[in-house]
Amino acid sequence: MSRFFATGSDSESEESSSADELTPKAPGGNFKQSLLISDDEEDTKRVVRSAKDKRFEELTNLIKTIRNAMKIRDMAKCLEEFEQLCRAFLKSKTIVDKEGVPAFYIRLLADLEDYLNQLWEDKEGKKKMNKNNAKALSTLRQKIRKYNRDYETEVAAYKENPQESADEEEEKEAGGSGSSSDSEGEAGEDGVLPGRSPLRDDDDDDDDEDWGSDTVDSGSESSDEGEGKSSLAVVFLKKTQEGEKSGEKRVSKKKKPKKKERLEEEAEEEGGEEVEGGWEKVKGGAPMVKEKPKMFAKGTEINVPVVVKKLNEILQARGKKGTDRAAQIELLHSLATIAGENNLGQGILVKIKFNIIASLYDYNPNLAAFMKPDMWKKCLDCIDELLDILFEHNNIFIGENIAEDNESLAISDQPFRVRGCILTLVERMDEEFTKIMQNTDPHSQEYVDNLKDEGHVCGIIDRLLDYMETKGSTEEICRIYLRRIMHTYYKFDYKAHRRSLGLQGETKSEQDQEESEGEDSAVIMDRLCKFIYAKDRTDRIRTCAILCHIYHHALHSRWYQARDLMLMSHLQDNIQHADPPVQILYNRTMVQLGICAFRQGMIKDAHNALLDIQSSGRAKELLGQGLLMRNMQERNAEQEKIEKRRQVPFHMHINLELLECVYLVSAMLLEIPYMAAHEFDARRRMISKQFHHQLRVGERQPLLGPPESMREHVVAASKAMKMGDWRTCHSFIINEKMNSKVWDLFPETQRVREMLVRKIQEESLRTYLFTYSSVYDSISMGTLSEMFELEIPTVHSIISKMIINEELMASLDQPTQTVVMHRTEPTSLQNMALQLAEKLGSLVENNERVFDLKQGVYGGYFNRDQKGGYQQNKSYNRDQKGGYQQNKGGYNRGGYRNQNHQSNY
């Protein structure tokens, strides 16, 4: 039966509607139907509602559900719906700020709290509850108590006059329902559409669309059922006059702009509220800039509790997904401005400043990321402003131990108490500065520009240091002192150096003069470090302070103070247990100590200090100046990121080429004389493996040209020193190329060059005597003095030390100023024979031990004693004449240096 007849039964209509659902529609039908809907039909179907109505309807629906759950004591449902209600209320925040908190919402909060308290006191009722409801009751009670703190005044007002607030609410609800019923009535009246001919395809499509929409509004149709039956024939009569249709179309076209105007007027009446799902005007392809949300509703009295509440609302969004961090920072800045305009006191201003700086640090969620330049400038300015407030107002107390409940932010006779730690913020600022320098290209102008901010950073640290000395604890003073030390220890004090040399130049300006008259860095370091030594309780801060103090002493050539401090601290005993940044600082200090010893002419001490770092082949990595290429098995991507964060900024680097050159030159001055003295000794040990490696690399080269690199210069100088040619050695070590690469980098360049020349002359003299002593019967000290351009007392001193240490078998003839050689050293043939004899002896002993393992008896040379061990009865000793004789004991080398007899074989 056709669905056009309203007299059909319900079952028939259901069957027909289900059959219609099952019948497939043409793919282009919907598009066609949508085109053929008249504008009048669109106007009648759409009901424009404000965002306020939508939001409040959502809230009332949730409140009804909660009240129903309260009636049946379903606490789990209450908890679930209350959480949804809180979320829905948060969404309608903009509307609530303008209109105020709705009365029905406050009524529910008050009733729900009373209801929960009543249930909580009913002990027997709680026992009868199931586990889920009991758990939901305790959770909901805690939540509602915490949530109602923000609405204490409104809830208290409702509880005082519950009847009045309830009447007001009923009036509002009645007004809202009346307006909605009026709109529905208007829609129902306008909804009666003139019928169209069912014979035309186009009209059929229109009618299908109309009936399809009418089925949705079945409620309104059923109410007007009686009228529908009487006017059914009128509805389906065809109107033959086409002029009416064209007139209707014209009217509908005219209605379009009116509809738009009406929408705009309604939007204006709502006070600029955004209609959800509505359209937005676009100019030039870009959306219009939205107005910033108002901080407070119009007419709100701005006081400290209101500002603190707003601050907490802003901070609640911190860290959540989708939060615009830049907008949060702007909101906090505007909140600080409002607090300042309303003269709410410095306490609330300090609290907001703390949160602004914390938000700036949180702008980059990734730990490895560094701050952008604009954020960095804002951060420095905010910290400066915060310090200005703290210095101007002595009645502000800040600390991490102050609980939020105990804060005193309002203006009163008592001092302000604010929760926060300025020291932590400054330490984080210092770390951010290090990250900025680590992530900037060191060879660019940007690095230089960023480095200029270090003066500002040090200024903030100095200001905080002054503040902490008056108001901080001992532990906090030690922490800020260490920050100041870390910015001072690696810098060479040129002004103090000039003053020590008496080279006080003419200053260009008063500022330069004031700086030159300022306190020396040595005095500052001494004062800060000694305070930490005396007061600090943590090993880490004290260890860092000692290492920085040693580094600063070594940098300024105070060798003995630096050495004594290092030896007295015993840091080398347990530094392996320290964390990696402290180990890097220790390595840097040892390297600087070695370079200082080299400048002072302590070659052996310099070599010992640099040996561990240079022999590892990983000096770059150990000093935190870069990472070496490694396999992924040794270090994964995460470890690599961690190690990159430990790197030292470029302006603090130690020149690795200078370091290697100092080490190789020290090794040359020690190794070449030692090699000449023990040329034929089979048991000779290497002082420096790296130096020997460089020598072997130089020997393997098929074609030797003039040296190019620093290493080639040192190898060429070593070969010249081996021959006793100190002038050639000097020309390879000190020349224009080496000066520009290495020696000019030292503060006292000329003094270092003079020391090097002197050391080369002395070691070349020792090498010459070791190498050619077998050629001479005697040699004049005057001749040696002329050859090596040394004073005769110096030559006398060097030779005397060699004779005392039994390195040279000779004696000094004082009247003639000559060195008489004793010729007791064996020749090369004799040395080779001695080595052969020693090796044969060890070979015999090893063979006998192997034979003993197989036979159980040691070849007749050893007999078992009563305890089961072995006893040696016979062996051989070399006598002073070079022969062998049987004796008890092991192989002992006889005297080679008998002054009365030469060796006989």
Q: Taking CA 188 as the corner, what is the angle to CA 186 and CA 190, rounded to the nearest 5 degrees?
A: 70
* 756: phi then psi, degrees, rounded to nearest 5: -65, -45
The alpha carbon of residue 621 and the mean position of all alpha carbons in its chain are separated, in whole angstroms, by 19
CA distance 155 to 672: 93
Tell me what the mean pLDDT of segment 830-851 comes to.
Answer: 88
Q: Where are the domains of the chain?
A: 51-160, 655-821
Contacts (Cβ under 8 Å, ≥6 apart) of 468: 423, 476, 477, 480
66: closest CA among 46, 45, 89, 49?
89
Reading across the β-sheet that carries 810-813, which strands appear in turn? 778-780, 818-821, 810-813
Tell me the range of 551-555, 740-744, 831-835 where mean pLDDT is highest: 551-555
694: closest CA among 710, 709, 711?
711
What 3-state class would DSSP assign to 31? helix
The structure tokens 């290090």 sit at 434
Tell me the range of 144-158, 206-220, 474-488, 803-817 where mean pLDDT is highest: 474-488
Contacts (Cβ under 8 Å, ≥6 apart) of 339: 307, 348, 349, 352
Q: Are 463 and 471 in contact (CB under 8 A)?
A: no
Task: Transcribe 769-786 into DSSP letters.
Answer: HHHHTTT-SEEEHHHHHH
What is the structure's pLDDT at 293? 54
Q: Are 773 and 808 in contact (CB under 8 A)?
A: yes
With cut-offs at 50, 70 and 90, classify the pLDDT of residue 471. Answer: confident
What 3-state class would DSSP assign to 288? coil
- Element holding 208 (H helix, E strand): helix 201-216
* 272: phi then psi, degrees, rounded to nearest 5: 75, 15
Tell me what the mean pLDDT of segment 777-792 comes to.
Answer: 91
Distances (CA, A) of 449 to 338, 441, 444, 452: 35, 11, 9, 5
Full 3-state SS string of 51-65: HHHHHHHHHHHHHHH
Q: Are 59 and 88 in contact (CB under 8 A)?
A: yes
Please report which residue ranges of 629-778 form alpha helices under DSSP H: 637-645, 656-677, 689-700, 710-722, 726-733, 736-741, 749-772
What is the structure's pLDDT at 182? 44
Domain 655-821 - what CATH class?
mainly alpha
- Tens-place pLDDT, residues 368-423: 678 888 889 999 999 999 999 989 888 888 888 887 777 777 777 778 888 889 99
**C-alpha neighbours within 13 Å on the C-beta side of residue 117:** 8
Write the single-letter amino acid at 658.
L
Window from 315-324, 338-347, 642-651 with minimum mean pLDDT:
315-324
Q: Which burial class, exposed, middle or buried, applies to 673 when counting CB atoms under 10 A from its CB (0-12, 13-18, 19+)?
A: buried
**C-alpha neighbours within 13 Å on the C-beta side of residue 679:** 19
The alpha carbon of residue 255 and the mean position of all alpha carbons in its chain are separated, in whole angstroms, by 63
Percent of the chain with pLDDT strictly greater than 70: 71
- Tens-place pLDDT, residues 95-152: 888 888 888 888 899 899 889 988 888 888 888 888 888 888 889 988 898 888 888 8
The tokens describing 700, both together, are 């393997």
Please report which residue ranges of 217-275 form alpha helices under DSSP H: 218-223, 225-230, 232-235, 242-269
The tokens describing 478, both together, are 């030690």
With cut-offs at 50, 70 and 90, classify the pLDDT of residue 472. Answer: confident
Please determine, for residue 244, whether its predicted confidence score (pLDDT) is greater than 50: no
Start-to-end CA distance of the chain, whole Å, equals: 139
